[in-house]
């Protein structure tokens, strides 16, 4: 059984796996770093305390604040879209490597079945030859 695993692992295109591993690891670290360092924004966080401490504002001031908040929200949306594209690229790369590995495993499975059949045929032939010599 160990020979089957060894043969299967020998058939894996390790040069491709190894050459792509740093890119995948870097992309995963970058994605994790982007996601992990940002705390999710809490809507309305601190608004009540801020509004209570400030004197009443004019509609123009409130409009300016809303516009700045809208700009921040749009910037966050752009950043999220960028992260989504990076995540999609990483997933695509991993999926293509997974497909390649699965196809190699399938090829090895067929080869192992063929080899088992050949060993069985040779075993029967050896037993037949041994029986005829007795």
Per-residue pLDDT, 40: 63
- Average pLDDT of the residues of the chain: 79
State how far the Cα of 40 lies from the Cα of 68, in Å rounded to an integer. Answer: 19
- Per-residue pLDDT at 27 exceeds 90: no
Q: Which ranges of 12-58 does DSSP label H, i.e. alpha helix?
A: 14-37, 47-53
* Predicted confidence (pLDDT) at residue 60 exceeds the cutoff of 80: yes
Threshold 0.75, pTM exceeds: no
- DSSP state for residue 44 in the 8-state scheme: T
**Stretch 14-29: mean pLDDT:** 72
Give the count of beta carbons closer than 10 Å to the beta carbon of residue 112. 16
Q: How far apart are CA 25 and CA 81, in angstroms?
A: 21
């Amino acid at each position: 059984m160990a020979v089957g695993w060894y043969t299967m692992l020998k058939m894996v295109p390790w040069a491709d796996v190894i050459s792509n591993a740093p890119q995948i690891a870097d992309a995963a670290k970058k994605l994790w770093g982007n996601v992990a360092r940002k705390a999710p924004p809490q809507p309305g966080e601190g608004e009540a305390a801020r509004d209570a401490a400030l004197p009443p504002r004019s509609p123009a001031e409130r409009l300016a604040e809303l516009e700045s908040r809208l700009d921040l929200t749009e910037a966050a949306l752009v950043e999220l879209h960028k992260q989504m594209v990076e995540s999609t690229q990483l997933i695509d790369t991993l999926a293509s490597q997974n497909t390649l590995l699965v196809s190699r495993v399938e090829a090895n499975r067929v080869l192992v079945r063929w080899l088992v059949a050949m060993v069985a045929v040779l075993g029967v032939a050896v037993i037949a030859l041994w029986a005829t010599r007795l």
